[in-house]
């Protein structure tokens, strides 16, 4: 029996460990044959009045329901009480979504503007939807913003019927500022103000030029350049939408120098969601935002992108394991070299063979079977 030279020991081990890295394959990204939206991304799902298919509209419960679904954007409606408080409610009267007729039977037609904030705070805004929501209140805008701060969600705020509430734009902006919603972070990423009233949108842009704004409606194509002076979005109902109209909107730049966006409403089924996504819309407002998200996400290829990211992470883990195997092999080679140099190994062949076998085990651990 003869001793192998140290160089042979080192070369054998180092050569084999080099095979570890060479043998780890670059993992190919999975294919997707699903059609993509216009820019390859799914439209943004927006919870209409909160997740209003699952909780009473415009309540804090609807905000929480959207949050539970993983929906980042919620839409609401803001009006003003008799004593000047801003409240979140869709209709300009309280009858449909509260028990106002029972509590105040002699106050018909129960207009929001005819009730004080304290009176509205007494109303039950949840029982009409389901018994488990009994006791939900009509939130003030302040309460609503604070809930969004707690959940981390973003707001598409609609100024509802601004013609009924002169000066409401400045009051909303004042409330947003007091609650910290006009700071750089919120204005850049977390807030859009929209309305059916073009003058109202124009006023918001004049008073707070940095705030992103949207006009609700379908202006004639020839009028779009005028709207682009004060609105960042044109937001038509899905029934009035066409791919050509979306292209005409996108061709213009808004007041912040970016292409106009299109958020369409109110889409509550997967088929319609895929149809308008194919037109290239940027957002879809829905009572069922999870249904919209799931339908358009699959069609846009975002699922495939997630799979590609997972594959990249797995490949990185394999490379890290291979590097660990190579380091272990280096240490074994150094140990073998030292023992061979000292001449203390009684059976260097067995020692080397055991180290090579160890590296082989590492190879089997990191290579796909």
Catalytically annotated residues: 48, 90
B/e letters for 153-179, b = 16+ CB within 10 Å, e = fewer, are: bbbbbbbbbbeebeebbebbbebbeeb
Q: List CB contacts of 317: < 8 A, sequence separation 6 or more.
A: none
Residue 278 and residue 35 in contact, taking contact as beta carbons nearer than 8 Å: yes
Cis amide bond preceding 251, omega within 30 = no
- Measured CA to CA, the distance from residue 69 to residue 268 in angstroms comes to 15
Q: How large is the greatest C-alpha to C-alpha distance in the chain, in angstroms?
A: 111
Selection from 192, 90, 160, 153 nearest residue 289 by Cα: 153
Place of tokens 């927006």: 46
| Crossing angle for the helix pair 6-23 and 348-366, to the nearest 10 degrees | 10
Backbone angles phi, psi at 137, to 5 degrees: -110, 165
N-to-C CA span, the chain:
37
- Measured CA to CA, the distance from residue 72 to residue 85 in angstroms comes to 26
- Measured CA to CA, the distance from residue 138 to residue 9 in angstroms comes to 79
Q: List CB contacts of 148: < 8 A, sequence separation 6 or more.
A: 63, 74, 154, 155
């Amino acid at each position: 029996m003869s001793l192998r030279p140290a160089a042979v020991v080192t070369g054998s081990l180092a050569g084999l460990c080099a095979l570890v890295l060479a043998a780890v394959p670059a993992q190919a990204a999975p294919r997707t044959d699903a059609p993509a939206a216009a820019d390859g991304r799914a439209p943004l799902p927006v919870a209409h009045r909160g997740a209003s298919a699952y909780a009473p509209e415009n309540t804090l419960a609807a905000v929480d329901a959207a949050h539970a679904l993983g929906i980042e954007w919620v839409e609401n409606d803001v009006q003003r009480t008799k004593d000047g408080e801003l409240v979140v409610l869709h209709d300009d009267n309280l009858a449909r979504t509260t028990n106002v007729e029972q509590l105040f039977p002699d106050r018909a037609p129960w207009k929001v503007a005819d009730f004080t904030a304290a009176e509205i705070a007494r109303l039950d805004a949840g029982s009409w939807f389901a018994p488990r929501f009994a006791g939900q209140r009509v939130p003030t805008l302040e309460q609503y913003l604070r809930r969004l701060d707690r959940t981390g969600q973003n707001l598409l705020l609609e100024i509802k019927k601004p013609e009924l509430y002169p000066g409401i734009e400045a009051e909303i902006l004042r409330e947003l500022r007091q609650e910290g919603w006009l700071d750089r972070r919120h204005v850049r990423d977390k807030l859009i103000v929209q309305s059916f009233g073009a003058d109202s949108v124009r006023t918001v842009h004049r008073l707070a030029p940095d705030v992103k704004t949207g006009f609700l409606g379908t202006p004639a194509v020839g009028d779009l350049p005028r709207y682009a002076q004060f609105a960042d979005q044109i937001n038509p109902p899905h029934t009035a939408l066409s791919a050509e109209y979306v292209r005409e909107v996108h061709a213009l730049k808004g007041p912040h120098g970016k292409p106009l966006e299109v958020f369409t409403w109110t889409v509550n089924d997967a088929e319609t969601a895929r149809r308008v996504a194919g037109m290239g819309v940027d957002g879809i407002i829905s009572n069922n935002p999870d249904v919209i998200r799931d339908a358009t996400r699959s069609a846009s290829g975002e699922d495939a992108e997630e799979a590609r990211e997972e594959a990249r992470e797995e490949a990185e883990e394999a490379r890290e394991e291979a590097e660990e195997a190579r380091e272990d092999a280096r240490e074994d080679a150094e140990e073998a070299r030292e023992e061979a140099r000292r001449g203390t190994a009684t059976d260097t062949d067995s020692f080397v063979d055991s180290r090579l076998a160890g590296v082989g085990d590492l190879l089997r651990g990191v290579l796909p079977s």
